[in-house]
């Protein structure tokens, strides 16, 4: 009896660009992954956080905020679409015509059944490896936000905020009342 070996194909950024535009894809360590569209609760939370962050950043003239779907090109085998991202005004040169070329200063991922494993594992490690300074994990079910800061190429948890708290970011000094974010 012989055993067949199935070789996994590694994808590149060029392959990624050939995917249909109406789907959300990520390229993680050469593996092409499709993500289902987010559910309503996810989108409401994303919209509220994006609104607060966009308003704060614009009023303080701190840089730019983007939201999914928007590609963050880390290298030829790692292209992700974070839910929300911030790039400081000192680093706006990483914004290209088609995507962001490098690590944003802040990435926010909102967990869902389809993305939680990747957001808490591979994506978190990739974001740290490529130098994202601050990472927020928003858990809609538990109504909490975990805030991580980069230290020695690893994310260290700074705080876990509940829906009764005011989230305070050490990176950009924003304060967000989480009861407003999670209220529906």
Residue 109 and residue 85 in contact, taking contact as beta carbons nearer than 8 Å: no
Give the model's pLDDT for residue 74. Answer: 97
For residues 44 and 182, give the distance between their C-alpha atoms in angstroms, rounded to a whole number.
Answer: 9
Give the model's pLDDT for residue 18. Answer: 75
For residues 3 and 98, give the distance between their C-alpha atoms in angstroms, rounded to a whole number.
Answer: 44
| This prediction's pTM | 0.87
Q: How many residues does the chain have?
A: 184
Residue 145 and residue 178 in contact, taking contact as beta carbons nearer than 8 Å: yes
Give the model's pLDDT for residue 113. Answer: 78
Two tokens at 22?
Answer: 């109406």
Give the model's pLDDT for residue 10. Answer: 85
Give the model's pLDDT for residue 53. Answer: 98
**Among candidates 77, 97, 73, 75, which has minimal Cα distance to 85?**
73
- The reply to whether CATH 3.90.1570.10 applies to domain 13-182 is yes
Q: What are the pLDDT tens digits along the chain (184 aa)?
A: 455 555 678 888 887 777 666 567 788 888 887 777 788 899 999 999 999 999 999 999 999 999 998 999 999 999 999 999 999 999 999 999 999 999 999 999 999 877 777 778 889 999 999 999 999 999 999 999 999 999 999 999 999 999 999 999 999 999 999 999 999 8
Domain chopping of the chain, boundaries: 13-182
Q: What is the mean pLDDT of the chain?
A: 90
């Amino acid at each position: 009896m012989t055993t067949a070996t199935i070789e996994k194909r590694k994808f590149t950024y060029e392959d990624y660009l050939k995917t249909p535009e109406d789907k959300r894809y990520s390229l993680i360590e050469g593996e092409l992954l499709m993500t289902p569209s987010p559910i309503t609760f996810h989108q409401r939370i994303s919209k509220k956080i994006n609104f607060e962050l966009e308003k704060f950043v614009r009023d303080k003239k701190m840089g730019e905020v983007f939201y999914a779907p928007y590609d963050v090109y880390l290298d030829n085998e790692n292209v992700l679409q974070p839910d929300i991202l911030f790039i400081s005004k000192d680093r706006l040169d990483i914004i290209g015509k088609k995507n962001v070329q490098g690590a944003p200063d802040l990435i926010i991922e909102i967990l869902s059944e389809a993305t939680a494993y990747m957001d808490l594992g591979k994506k978190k490690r990739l974001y740290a490896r490529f130098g994202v300074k601050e990472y927020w994990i928003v858990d809609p079910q538990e109504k909490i936000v975990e805030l991580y800061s980069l230290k020695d190429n690893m994310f260290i948890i700074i705080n876990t905020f509940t829906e009764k708290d005011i989230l305070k970011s050490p990176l950009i000094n924003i304060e967000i009342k989480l009861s407003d974010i999670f209220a529906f």
